[in-house]
A and B are shown apart, each in its own frame.
Chain A
Amino acid sequence: MMLNVPKSLDEVAKALNLTRRDPKIYPRDYYVNSSSDRMLEIAAKLKNEFGVHHVSTVIVRDDEDGFHLIYPFSVILDNSEWGKLIVDFLVDKKNPEVESLTPEFPGLVIAEREAYDMMGIRFKNHPDLRRLLTPDIMPSDIYPLRKDITAEEIRRRLAEEAEKRRLDLE
Chain B
Amino acid sequence: MTEYAPPIPETPEGDYSISIGPQHPTHKEPIRFIFQVKGETIEHVDLRIGFNHRGIEKAFEQRTWNQNLYLAARLCGICSAAHQFAYAQAAERCAKIYDEIPERAQYIRVIIQELERIQSHMLWYGVLAHDTGFDTMFHLTWRDREIVNDILEIISGNRVNYAMWTIGGVRRDISRDQITNIIPKLKDLRKKCDYHRDVMMSERSFIARQENVAILSTEDAKRFCAVGPTARASNVNCDVRKIDPYCAYNKIDFDVPLWDQGDIFGGLSLRLDETLISIDMAIQALENLPGNPGDIKIRVPRKIDPNEGIQRVEAPRGEDIHFVRSNGSEKPDRHKIRAPTFANLPSLVHRLKGCQVADIPPVIRVIDPCIGCCERTTFVDIKTGKSIDLSGEHLISRTNRAHRLGTRVLEF
Residues of chain A at the chain B interface (Cβ within 8 Å) = 22-23, 25-26, 28-29, 31, 53-57, 59-62, 70, 72, 80-84, 86, 105-111, 114, 118, 130-140, 144-145, 147, 150-152, 154
Flag if A133 contacts B375 (CB, 8 Å).
yes
Chain A residues lying within 8 Å of B96, measured Cβ to Cβ, are 23, 25
Flag if B388 contacts A152 (CB, 8 Å).
yes
Decide: A59 near B323, CB < 8 A? Known: A23-B96, A84-B244, A134-B53.
yes
A-B contact pairs, 13 of them (CB 8 A): A53-B223, A54-B222, A54-B238, A62-B381, A72-B310, A81-B245, A105-B225, A110-B342, A131-B3, A133-B53, A144-B55, A151-B55, A152-B388
Chain B residues lying within 8 Å of A132, measured Cβ to Cβ, are 49-50
Flag if A151 contacts B61 (CB, 8 Å).
yes
Complex-state Cα separation, A59 to B90, whole angstroms? 14
Flag if A150 contacts B50 (CB, 8 Å).
no
Decide: A150 near B310, CB < 8 A? Known: A81-B243, A130-B7.
no
Flag if B323 contacts A70 (CB, 8 Å).
yes
**B16 near A: Cβ within 8 Å?**
no
Flag if B222 contacts A140 (CB, 8 Å).
no
Selected contact of B58 from candidates A110, A111, A151, CB within 8 Å = A151
Decide: A31 near B338, CB < 8 A? Known: A114-B378, A133-B375.
no
Per-position 1/0 for B49-86, Cβ under 8 A of A = 11001010111010000000000000000000000000
Chain B residues lying within 8 Å of A133, measured Cβ to Cβ, are 49-50, 53, 375, 378
Chain A residues lying within 8 Å of B226, measured Cβ to Cβ, are 107
Chain A residues lying within 8 Å of B375, measured Cβ to Cβ, are 133
**B5 near A: Cβ within 8 Å?**
yes
Number of interface residues of B (CB under 8 A): 52
Dominant secondary structure at the B interface? mixed
Chain B residues lying within 8 Å of A138, measured Cβ to Cβ, are 2, 4
Which of B96, B99, B381, B383 gathers the greatest number of chain A CB atoms within 10 Å? B381
Flag if A72 contacts B321 (CB, 8 Å).
yes
Flag if B343 contacts A144 (CB, 8 Å).
no
Chain A residues lying within 8 Å of B387, measured Cβ to Cβ, are 150-152
Chain B residues lying within 8 Å of A82, measured Cβ to Cβ, are 238, 243-244
Per-position 1/0 for B383-409, Cβ under 8 A of A = 101011000000000000000000000
Complex-state Cα separation, A110 to B374, whole angstroms? 11
Flag if A107 contacts B346 (CB, 8 Å).
yes
Chain B residues lying within 8 Å of A105, measured Cβ to Cβ, are 223, 225
How far is the CB of B75 from the nearest CB of chain A, in Å?
14
How far is the CB of B147 from the nearest CB of chain A, in Å?
34
Selected contact of B223 from candidates A22, A106, A145, CB within 8 Å = A106
Chain A residues lying within 8 Å of B336, measured Cβ to Cβ, are 57, 59-61
Chain A residues lying within 8 Å of B388, measured Cβ to Cβ, are 151-152
Flag if B310 contacts A118 (CB, 8 Å).
no
Chain B residues lying within 8 Å of A107, measured Cβ to Cβ, are 223-226, 343, 346-347
Decide: A57 near B321, CB < 8 A? Known: A23-B96, A81-B243.
yes
